[in-house]
Amino acid sequence: VVGPGSTDDATILAAATQVGAGLARADLVVVTGGLGGVMAAASRGARQAGGLVVGVLPGADAGSANEWVDVAVPTGLGEGRNLLVVRMAEVVVAVGGSWGTLAEVALARRAGTPVVSLHGWSVDGPAADDGPRVVASPDDAVRAAVSLLSAPPC
């Protein structure tokens, strides 16, 4: 689950929590960037629903992870850790949108990893046909993620 780390938009944060919980209930491990905002909200949702939560941190200190992370990966790579979040994922769910989130969406699509987008970016350009699956609710996001996991690879 990717999304802005510093938002205080209550709709976005509630959606991230519901997405995290839904993915955990579907027996998926939830991987985030380990910090605040959407990352913390999704982590909290997943943990409270009994899931395993991995946080791939920009800094070198495991202690900077939010309190719902089970396995912290302190990378020391700064923004470079976004690529690792994406590489760990079998499907990416983007909730809300910052430039960092758009970078993760694009990195995922480049790697052929399916992306679900909720309250986030839409893009138009040379490869846009192949872009994120845009959904309208947290439940739809979880359903889309699960169905993309079982679909043949793109």
Least Cα distance to 33 among 106, 95, 84 occurs for 84
Q: 53 vs 142, which CB is nearer to a copy of itself?
A: 53
Rounded to whole angstroms, how far apart are CA atoms 39 and 65? 10
Q: How far is the CB of 29 from a copy of itself (least distance, A)?
A: 8
Q: 40 vs 56, which CB is nearer to a copy of itself?
A: 56
Rounded to whole angstroms, how far apart are CA atoms 92 and 113? 7
Q: 86 vs 142, which CB is nearer to a copy of itself?
A: 86
Contacts with a copy of itself, residue ranges (CB under 8 A): 4, 29, 52, 54, 56, 60, 62, 71-80, 83-84, 87-88, 96-100, 102-103, 105-107, 109-111, 120-128, 130
Q: How far is the CB of 121 from a copy of itself (least distance, A)?
A: 4
3-class SS at 105?
helix
C-alpha distances in Å from residue 34, one per residue of 49, 132, 136, 142: 17, 23, 25, 20
Q: Tokens standing for 35?
A: 């910090």
Q: How far is the CB of 38 from a copy of itself (least distance, A)?
A: 12
Q: 26 vs 71, which CB is nearer to a copy of itself?
A: 71
Q: How far is the CB of 139 from a copy of itself (least distance, A)?
A: 22
Q: How far is the CB of 41 from a copy of itself (least distance, A)?
A: 16
